[in-house]
Amino acid sequence: MLDSKIPAGTLDDKWTKYKGSVKLVNPANKRKLEVIIVGTGLAGSSAAASLGEMGYKVKAFCFQDSPRRAHSIAAQGGINAAKNYQNDGDSVYRLFYDTIKGGDYRSREANVHRLAEVSTNIIDQCVAQGVPFAREYGGLLSNRSFGGTQVQRTFYAAGQTGQQLLIGAYQALERQVALGTVEMFARHEMVELVIIDGKARGIIARNLVTGELERHFAHAVLLCTGGYGNVFYLSTNAMGSNVTAAWKAHKKGAYFANPCFTQIHPTCIPVSGDHQSKLTLMSESLRNDGRIWVPVKQGDTRNPNDIPESERDYYLERRYPAFGNLVPRDVASRAAKERCDAGYGVGSSKQAVYLDYAAAIQRYGKAEVSKNNLGNISAEEITQLGRDVVKEKYGNLFTMYEKITGENPYNVPMRIYPAVHYTMGGLWVDYELKTTIDGLYALGEANFSDHGANRLGASALMQGLADGYFVIPYTLGNYLSDDIGTGLIPTDHPAFVEAEHTASERINKLMSIKGTKTVESFHKRLGKIIWNECGMARSEAGLKKAIKDLADLKQEFWSDVRIPGEINEMNPELDKAGRVADFIELGQLMCLDALERNESCGGHFREEYQTPDGEALRDDTNYMYVAAWENKPDGWNLHKENLVYEIVKPSQRSYK
Amino acid sequence: MQHYSMNLKLNVWRQKNSIDAGHFETYDVNDISSEMSFLEMIDVLNERMIAEGKSPIAFDHDCREGICGMCSMVIDGRPHGPWEGTTTCQLHMRAFKDGDVITVEPFRANAFPVVKDLMVNRGAFDRIIQAGGYVSVNTGNAVDGNSIPVEKDKADDAFAAASCIGCGACVAACKNASAMLFVSAKVSHLALLPQGEPEKRQRVKSMIAQMDKEGFGSCTNTYACEAECPKEISVLNIARLNREYLHSSLSGDFE
């Protein structure tokens, strides 16, 4: 039976009470306790820095050449916090409520409330580290809006908020490296989890430069390894983002929760051809000012600037007048797909809609005229003033769009289409962020807990840093306080020997196949299957077919993949092969989970279950649970954690 | 924009590991679309080489959207290639035409040893940050984010400096392989903000000392770094660093 260990008490009192009564570890004992952290994005870096500051001996691992490269760096738009600096009615409760509703009532109330509570501390912490957030002329912090909310609670640093937050956490991490509390292992990948007497006690890591396998002991292991969006091949994730560490843990007993809850982001640059290796996000913040439309006429090939206002369909504003262009991501993505499938798409592929800044440029231009008393100036000059304002707010995004497409978005509307961006599913964790394996924790996007079936914009950064800075420093002590007598377990323990042997056997097997098809070709085929059958729309028949196709693909992979080079050298193809092999298995579980969930909710849209106007139709009577999957030699067992809503009353989500 | 297809010749630096002497090899790559990114063009070449049983070209890359700083490469003598303010991963093949011969090398500097082919070790940058590129504040000690107003101009300048992605193009562009632009961007970012103020004197001294220790060269103000920086970090940061360093050195005598 899954025990989420939610503390007793009223919702807004749980975390305070927990912190006040949790077991502590004294400073002398902390020095004797070792913690392994895998991944150095926002969750991993912030956890490593905080635990190092507290006195634990930390070993941090990342596959990139420096911890600063982790993919949190690419987050663009911002980070939410219930500061209510704008005096627009925000509060901890409202951030909590928006997140629960945005997640379509499939997340855990207690976790989400804690997230909203610590959100304000995150902003303070980051400012203190020197994170250069955007500011107003009075010197105070600036805010903007994101989807699924009606307040302005998003803090930002141009379109590079993730970069600035990660650099802050990275610097805090490097400070601990200098102080000797954190040891950093870059270009290392976790390839096995080591379990001794039912507890996570270390990892086998592969040194990606030499190919050697290394044994690392710790009293506890934290997986901060991000999401699994690259199962789709094309996504906004970095090329190296992978599920391998989480998957190894899953195979050793950690339950995997809600794998079919994946987020398709509505505003990305469309695919341009078969050569495409990844997709690029255009921040949700652009929906603050940009308007989304398609032509009223099907198959209209006119230049967008030649299509008059009366022949444009601003379909989000039409369908969702209360939230307009700022509906949540799942809703906006489905609406774009609906228009394109119905034949209103634009661009050469017809798989795109317009994101238009013309009106915003005029509005800002006129505001500048008024603010600076410019009276008599030409229309061109007003446009230029407006462009300058837009450039200050979103300049790097506009530049990126132009580099990729060759078109200037200040002059013509951007073409955008939904793309895989984030995964709400992940390793099942309890209130303390502990997985079903004792001593193994999952933080940030790697866990499942806070976003339900759909994440709201600017909440991923919030969750990663909440878990790392403000949650794990308390909850880890509650576990390690019972472990102060354990001492160091030597890495010649049979469990380490066996885990290394398993990893080594698998690598040898991969290299010995010597087949005919490249790793990349398998990854592309995997992505096509998942995108077509477990993407924006899913059906029973499609999922059943995908499960069969994936079984075939897995078999073909293990009999016909070709990996060049040697084991004991830098071999990126071998690294990739291990990751793709795990993605194929994860894909099977995603489809199984999607098939089992006979309802639509958030990003999980089963075609059979929709309202008459095409919205997601939940089934709270039968599916108000977290699906936590246990890996078995011959498949998976489903465990259910029933979701109990004490405060929020689930209802049909409406943004109209 | 008109799309086109091109045939190219690539001269690529191949080096098995950090001990190997390394050499150039030439490859023909055909039917490359102007829509592709530069790295996607190399993906095409690598896929073909794997099919032919040859060793693919190793290169660093991750986000492919110009922000992680992992991609490197010197393309036709320029770090990150011909486009201004652009990382290699954001460089698109529109920059080239049919029949071009393109030379691709790793970033070259004593402090950046080659790992394999086009990959280098930039760990020296992390060690420079360890020497003082931070604010010494532990988690949980922060006051309210709005308790200290920061002039917008200073916040904007700090942000511009902080947008450095730590790729090392400044070092690769410099004839002395100096890391001055990288170091100055971090010194400026933190010195401009009230939060970084208390440690600014010690920070600049420690970071400069570490830079020297890593074997980076001296700055002789050629500004090649600014010209090649994919994030267009300004050399004004170097002037700011020099000022901070001078203050730091002078104040040491009096305090």
Q: Strand, helix or coil at A583? A: helix
A143 residue type, one letter: N
Express each pLDDT in A120-175 by its tens digit.
999 999 999 999 999 999 999 999 988 888 999 999 998 899 999 999 999 999 99
- Indicate left, alpha or beta for B119 from its phi (over 0: left) and psi (-120 to 50: alpha): beta
Percent of chain B at pLDDT > 70 equals 98
Helices A379-405 + A358-371 axis angle, to 10: 140
Looking at residue B255, its pLDDT comes to 43
If you classify domain B5-105 with CATH, what class do you get? Answer: alpha beta
What is the mean predicted confidence (pLDDT) over B93-122? 98
Nearest by CB to A69, from B68, B155, B190: name it. Answer: B68
Note whether A570 contacts B50, CB cutoff 8 Å.
no
Q: Max Cα separation, chain B?
A: 69
Q: Architecture of domain B123-254 in CATH?
A: Orthogonal Bundle (1.10)
Looking at residue A575, its pLDDT comes to 98
Distances in Å between the Cα of A229 and the Cα atoms of A151, A241, A446 are 29, 8, 11
Query: Judging by DSSP bridges, how do beta strands A262-268 and A79-80 pair with one another?
Result: unpaired
DSSP state of A181: S
Minimum Cα–Cα distance from A73: chain B residue? B68
Q: Write down all domains in chain A, each with its CATH number in brackets.
A: 264-420 (3.90.700.10), 497-623 (1.20.58.100)
B214: closest CA among B109, B111, B115, B122? B111
The answer to whether residue A605 scores a pLDDT higher than 90 is yes
Whether B62 and B206 have beta carbons less than 8 Å apart is answered as no
**Residue A343, number of CB atoms within 10 A of its CB:** 12
What is the mean predicted confidence (pLDDT) over A645-654? 92
Express each pLDDT in B173-200 by its tens digit.
999 999 999 999 999 999 999 999 999 9
Q: Report the C-alpha gap between A69 and A214 in whole angstroms.
A: 23
Note whether B138 contacts A53, CB cutoff 8 Å.
yes
Query: What is the predicted ipTM?
Result: 0.98
CA of B11 vs chain A CAs: smallest distance (Å): 21
Q: How confident is the model at residue B132 (pLDDT cuts 50, 70, 90)?
A: very high
Query: What is the rounded average pLDDT for all residues in chain A?
Result: 96
DSSP state of A158: T
Q: Report the C-alpha gap between B124 and B250 in whole angstroms.
A: 28
Specify burial of residue B16 (Cβ count, 10 A radius: 0-12, 13-18, 19+): middle
Residue A414 sits at φ, ψ, to 5 deg, of -70, 150
Express each pLDDT in A38-78 by its tens digit.
999 999 999 999 999 999 999 999 999 999 999 999 999 89
Note whether B39 contacts A238, CB cutoff 8 Å.
no
Note whether A570 contacts B123, CB cutoff 8 Å.
no
Q: Strand, helix or coil at B111? A: coil
Domains B5-105 and B123-254 share a fold: no
Which of A72, A127, A576 is the best substitution to test chain B (most B C-beta atoms within 10 A)? A127
Which of B14, B61, B63 is the best substitution to test chain A (most A C-beta atoms within 10 A)? B63
Note whether A128 contacts B142, CB cutoff 8 Å.
yes
The answer to whether residue B22 scores a pLDDT higher than 80 is yes
Distances in Å between the Cα of A496 and the Cα atoms of A488, A493, A553, A631 are 13, 6, 32, 21
Q: How confident is the model at residue B250 (pLDDT cuts 50, 70, 90)?
A: confident
Express each pLDDT in A398-436 by its tens digit.
999 999 999 999 999 999 999 999 999 999 999 999 999
A440 forms beta bridges with: A221
Asked whether the whole model's pTM tops 0.90, one would answer yes
Residue B85 sits at φ, ψ, to 5 deg, of 55, 40
Q: Max Cα separation, chain A?
A: 82
Nearest by CB to B50, from A73, A137, A564: name it. Answer: A564
What is the mean predicted confidence (pLDDT) over A234-251? 98
- Chain A CB contacts of B116 under 8 Å are 569-570
A423: closest CA among A467, A443, A453? A453
Q: How confident is the model at residue B1 (pLDDT cuts 50, 70, 90)?
A: low
- Chain A CB contacts of B81 under 8 Å are none
**Residue A612, number of CB atoms within 10 A of its CB:** 6
A36 forms beta bridges with: A59, A221
> Where are the domains positioned within chain B?
5-105, 123-254
Residue B54 contacts A, CB cutoff 8 Å: yes
Nearest by CB to B64, from A140, A239, A405: name it. Answer: A239
